[in-house]
Amino acid sequence: MSKDTEVDMKDVELNDMDQEKQPMTGGAANGDAGSPTGTEKNGSVKVKIPEETQTKFTGLSKEELLTVAGTPGWVRTRWALLILFWLGWLGMLAGAVAIIVQAPRCKDIPAMNWWNYGPLYQIGNVQAFSESQNLKGVEDKIDRLSQLKVKGLVIGPIHVAPLDNLVSLNFEEISSDAGNLEQFKGLITAAHKKSIKVILDLTPNYLGRGPWFANVNVTNVAERLKVRICSVSSQILIGVTEKPSAVEVSELLNSTGVDLLLSGALRSKSMTATDRAQTVQQLLSSHNQTQLAWNIGDRKEGHLATLVGTDMVNFNQMLLLTLPGTPVFNYGDEIALADADTKSPKMLWDSLEDEETNGTAKEEKEQRVSCRSFFKTLSELRGKERSLQHGDYIPLFNSTSALAYLRQWDQSGRYVAAFNWGSDAVTLQLAHPDLPAQAVVQVSTDEVNLAPDRTVALSELVLGAGQAVLLQFPYMA
């Protein structure tokens, strides 16, 4: 081997190799006779084989790199890459600006009051509402009410007002039947921790024959009331009228200056779906939705289940919670509590962990829990979805028995609410430029035919008798 190509060699004896690879010699057949000394092993030969070596890579030195980097070719390459980088960066910047400029602008959120963000909850009779039968009992239930996304409690009246006795009327003193001042303060503190406002019903003569005392100048009572509430922050003035006409309700809203007006506008059992649609449309055409309150029951008229029937409670919960305005409920409306011989039935508090020994009682409890869950789901949707909270109201369909409308806001998800008051199933053929071909069921009173998450065709929406459904579809640019 030449000196230039010399590689390391090592001695290897053939007998170190596998036996099958060792060469055979004559001595192998004749014992040691063929061996000159008789002491070497048969076939033992020393040979040299090259060792495997690794080639070590050595890069260019610093001086060599500097020399190569300074050549014209590499200089031009570096400048080309730099220019391409900045051109790409400027292109992406221009594209981002173009997207921002061409993208549709979001609409400004309308001015809203705190009571427009969720339902108001009336507790007309503190004693009937809780086991403690006083304001402390209401405080103990704040967590349960917070789960329903309630934004305000309408409490009482709880002030001292002897029957038809204007002289003894005292708005500053809490009736002993309801509790005391310390309990009231505790309720306020607990409610505010859950972002719930407390509203006092200050009906002057709530135990008497007339709310404003008979044969008494109403102005005198109003002035006494005005002096007491003028320093209260976050005031809301809620009026109550028994008038069912949309025209009369509108006139009262304009003339009284109340923030909200509870009325019988949706209460009449003789109303058709067309009547309801016209009532809503008339009030919306004259007033901002932040001024409108929707209720069916109240402290005087009774609970929702009594007025519409237990089987239609969920139906009407959906109606009140999807109309544009503030929904107002009576205590117990979330569980279909019905009036018996009194307008103030005892509130029922159920727990899923409770075991009932009576089959009927267990079934009734499950129905109340299910009803409350339905209410909670709708209230949560209304609290987080802008289309339901302050979105536009667009009528889609109405007849004597059925009603459907669209709630939409800017680029938020849209909702279609549909109702069938009739005794027969109806097929609604909903069509509007803002509607897609299909929508997804969010909440339904008919979980057999309109189960949640099911996709339905809006051109052939089938609603069973006494059924309601809330559908959702995304914003489409």
Q: What is the pLDDT of residues 139-183, one digit of tens each?
A: 999 999 999 999 999 999 999 999 888 888 888 899 999 999 999
Query: Does 58 fall in a domain?
Result: no
Given a contact cutoff of 8 angstroms between Cβ atoms, the answer to whether 392 and 368 are in contact is no
Tokens in use for 2?
């030449």
Please give the residue range of the domain that contains residue 314.
120-236+295-384
Same domain, 313 and 419: no
Same domain, 370 and 458: no
| Regions of the chain where pLDDT drops below 50 | 1-10, 12-14, 16-17, 20-22, 25-41, 227, 229-232, 352
**What CATH number is attached to the domain comprising 411?**
2.60.40.1180
Residue length of the chain: 477
Dihedral over alpha carbons 63, 67, 69, 74 (to 10 degrees): -160
Q: Where are the alpha helices (DSSP H) in 112-263?
A: 126-129, 135-140, 142-147, 181-193, 218-229, 246-256
- Cα-flanking dihedrals φ and ψ of residue 260, to 5°? -140, 155
Pairwise CA distance, residues 245 & 247, whole Å: 5
Same domain, 339 and 451: no
Tokens in use for 113?
């009051």
Same domain, 188 and 141: yes
Query: Does 310 fall in a domain?
Result: yes
DSSP 22: S
Number of domains in the chain: 2
Regarding beta strands 402-408 and 392-398, do their DSSP bridges make them parallel or antiparallel, or are they unpaired? antiparallel
Give the number of other CB atoms < 10 A from CB of residue 370.
13
Same domain, 377 and 404: no
For residue 320, give the amino acid letter: L
Query: Does 69 fall in a domain?
Result: no
Same domain, 407 and 457: yes
Given a contact cutoff of 8 angstroms between Cβ atoms, the answer to whether 333 and 376 are in contact is no
Query: Does 288 fall in a domain?
Result: no
Q: Which of 384, 418, 439 is the last residue of a domain?
A: 384
Same domain, 310 and 458: no
Query: Does 284 fall in a domain?
Result: no
Given a contact cutoff of 8 angstroms between Cβ atoms, the answer to whether 197 and 152 are in contact is yes
Same domain, 330 and 458: no
Pairwise CA distance, residues 37 & 200, whole Å: 126
Q: CB-side exposure of 335: number of CA atoms within 13 Å?
A: 19
Give this prediction's pTM: 0.78
Q: Which of 384, 410, 429 is the last residue of a domain?
A: 384
CA distance to 408, 439, 470, per residue, from 434 (Å): 9, 12, 16
Quick: pLDDT tens for 304-339: 999 999 999 999 999 999 999 999 999 999 999 997
Q: Which of 322, 351, 384 is the last residue of a domain?
A: 384
Same domain, 409 and 362: no
Same domain, 308 and 349: yes
DSSP 34: T
Same domain, 305 and 345: yes
Given a contact cutoff of 8 angstroms between Cβ atoms, the answer to whether 139 and 187 are in contact is yes
Model pLDDT, residue 2? 42
Q: Angle, to 10 degrees, between the axis of helix 313-322 and the axis of helix 359-384?
A: 10
Same domain, 224 and 318: yes
Who contacts 235 (Cβ-Cβ below 8 Å, separation ≥6)?
A: 229
Model pLDDT, residue 35? 44
Query: Does 187 fall in a domain?
Result: yes
Model pLDDT, residue 34? 45
Query: Does 6 fall in a domain?
Result: no
Pairwise CA distance, residues 168 & 345, whole Å: 28
**What CATH number is attached to the domain comprising 150?**
3.20.20.80
Who contacts 222 (Cβ-Cβ below 8 Å, separation ≥6)?
A: none
Tokens in use for 171?
């708005």
**Which DSSP string corresponds to 392-444?**
EEEEEEE-SSEEEEEEE-TTS-EEEEEEE-SSS-EEE----TT--SEEEEEEE
Query: Does 330 fall in a domain?
Result: yes
Pairwise CA distance, residues 460 & 139, whole Å: 48
